[in-house]
Amino acid sequence: MPTVTSSWSSRFPPPPTCPRAGPASAHEGRRAGCLRVSRPAAHTPLRDQAALPALPVRARSQWARDPPSPEPRARSSAGAWSQRSRRRVPGPTMESSAAGCVVIVGSGVIGRSWAMLFASGGFQVKLYDIEQQQIRNALESIRKEMKLLEQAGSLKGSLSVEEQLSLISGCTNIQEAVEGAMHIQECVPEDLELKKKIFAQLDSIIDDQVILSSSTSCLMPSKLFAGLVHVKQCIVAHPVNPPYYIPLVELVPHPETAPTTVDRTHALMKKIGQCPMRVQKEVAGFVLNRLQYAIISEAWRLVEEGIVSPSDLDLVMSEGLGMRYAFIGPLETMHLNAEGMLSYCDRYSEGMKHVLKTFGPIPEFSRATAEKVNQDMCMKVPGDPEHLAARRQWRDECLMRLAKLKSQVQPQ
pLDDT of residue 407: 85
Q: How far is CA 326 from CA 42, 69, 292, 319, 321, in A?
A: 43, 38, 14, 11, 9
- Going by C-alpha positions, the residue among 166, 167, 168, 161 that lies closest to residue 89 is 161
pTM here is 0.77
| Sequence-ordered list of residues with C-beta below 8 angstroms from that of 38, at least 6 positions apart, any chain | 21, 22, 23, 24, 29, 173, 175
Per-residue pLDDT reduced to its tens digit, 70-83: 333 333 333 333 33
C-alpha 148/C-alpha 142 separation (Å) is 10
Per-residue pLDDT reduced to its tens digit, 17-75: 333 333 333 333 333 333 333 333 344 444 433 333 333 333 333 443 333 333 333 33
* Secondary structure of 135-198 in HEC code, one letter for each residue: HHHHHHHHHHHHHHHHHCCCCCCCCCHHHHHCCEEEECCHHHHHCCEEEEEECCCCCHHHHHHH
Residue burial 332-345, b: 16+ Cβ < 10 Å; e: rest: eebbeeeeeeeebe
C-alpha 294/C-alpha 281 separation (Å) is 20
pLDDT of residue 310: 97
pLDDT of residue 138: 97
pLDDT of residue 91: 53
pLDDT of residue 97: 39
SS3 content of the chain, % helix, strand, coil (to 5): 45, 15, 40
pLDDT of residue 87: 40
C-alpha 36/C-alpha 174 separation (Å) is 7
pLDDT along the chain (412 residues), means of 10: 43 35 34 34 41 33 38 34 38 48 97 98 96 96 96 93 97 93 97 96 95 97 97 98 95 98 98 97 96 97 97 98 95 97 98 96 96 97 97 94 87 62
